[in-house]
Amino acid sequence: MISTNALTKKFGSLMALDNLTLEIGPGELFGFIGPNGAGKSTTMKILACLLRQDSGQAFVCGKDVRKDADAIRRLIGYMPDFLGVYDDLTVDEYLQFFAAAFSVPRARRRVIIDQVLELTDLTEKKNAMVDSLSRGMQQRLGIARVLIHEPQVLLLDEPASGLDPRARIEMRSLLIELRSMGKCLMVSSHILSELAEMCTSIGIIERGKLLYAGSIQDAYAKVRSASLDIPEGRPGVAHERLVITLHPSSPAAHTIAESIRTHQRVVAVRVEPSGALAVDIATEADAGHHFLIEIISNSGGRIHSFAPAEIRLEDAFLKLTTGALQ
């Protein structure tokens, strides 16, 4: 649905996009992550045919942004990071205006507008003035506007910006619903924890250069493997980290850690400040974690909890960007 190849854009001496290449397929919710000025908005503006690249290619639904701008504009819904609204209109009048602008047949406008109002949970606000809406409701109205011509691709630049916690939850639910409808969504955001809960894939961009693009699971795997202290002689072996919390009646955590350290599958073990054990083990086919339970039990320990280490999207972002452009 979205494809770029070596996409490059400069503003004077500033390199806004540096050979950006990515692919986003149908039904994907792609989270575009990066600090301010990283190139997220520039990318979306090029895809929305509002800005021309200096070099490289960009395609939306198989159409070239340079050659097929008019056709692309009818296939996408673009919501900028700051959405201007017409304050002297009601919600219904606002949507009627954009339905007419997109040449939606008059006979279908009422049905389509009612559908997008229901989808964005704004039905009760149909006759309210736009300037009376809260920030969260105005953001949802922005989503309703970009859906009015039934686009296949949605480009949403910071849709949760400035929203309170409840409004962010409602926005996240709306985006997940749009994903379930088969739409291709590209969403930029600084709220990394929320992207982790709704995205099927992510891209990390900094200073115009794409540092990572792929599934969140693959990003976590990269962080997990990069964070392990792997001794020499163990390269090429898959590893995983487990966090084990001991019952207070157990012997000292350091004592049990020394017992665990001697097993051949254990790569590293350390005692966290909380007293939990962080154990890195070599992953082997059809081999479980029972040996750890046995070692701890034989050492007189009792397990309170036993689980894979949790890696957050914030951890992935920091690990994948630190030093990448030095």
Q: List, for residues 15-51, the tens digit of each pLDDT value.
A: 999 999 999 998 899 999 888 888 999 999 999 999 9
Residues 300-326 have a mean pLDDT of 71
Q: Does the pLDDT at position 237 exceed 70?
A: no
Instruction: Report residue 149's pLDDT band, with 50, 70 and 90 as the boundaries.
Output: very high
Sheet holding 14-24, edge to edge: 14-24, 2-11, 55-60, 63-64
pLDDT in tens, 91-132: 999 999 999 999 999 999 999 999 999 999 999 999 999 989
pLDDT in tens, 189-231: 876 776 777 888 999 898 899 988 988 777 766 665 555 444 4
pLDDT at residue 88, rounded to an integer: 86
The H-or-E segment that residue 112 falls in is helix 106-119
How far is residue 244's CA from residue 260's CA, in Å, rounded to a whole number?
A: 12
Residues 50-76 have a mean pLDDT of 94
User: 26-35, 176-185, 232-241, 291-300: which has the minimum mean pLDDT?
Assistant: 232-241
Q: Does the pLDDT at position 325 exceed 60?
A: no
pLDDT at residue 280, rounded to an integer: 84
**Cβ proximity of 157 and 44 under 8 Å:** yes
Residues 269-284 have a mean pLDDT of 85
Q: Which two tokens stand for residue 83?
A: 């959405």
pTM over 0.95: no
**Cβ proximity of 254 and 246 under 8 Å:** no
Beta bridge pairs of residue 60: 2, 63
DSSP 2: E
pLDDT cut 90: percent of the chain above it: 49
Burial (CB count <10 Å: 0-12, 13-18, 19+), residue 181: exposed
pLDDT at residue 42, rounded to an integer: 95
Q: Does the pLDDT at position 235 exceed 90?
A: no
Mean pLDDT of the chain, nearest integer = 85
Q: Does the pLDDT at position 85 exceed 50?
A: yes
pLDDT cut 70: percent of the chain above it: 85
3-state helix, strand, coil in the chain (%, to 5): 35, 25, 35
Q: Does the pLDDT at position 52 exceed 90?
A: yes
The values of phi and psi at residue 129, to 5°, are -70, 140
Q: What domains are defined for the chain?
A: 2-220 (3.40.50.300), 230-313 (3.30.70.100)
One DSSP character per residue, 118-144 reads: HHTT-GGGTTSBGGGS-HHHHHHHHHH
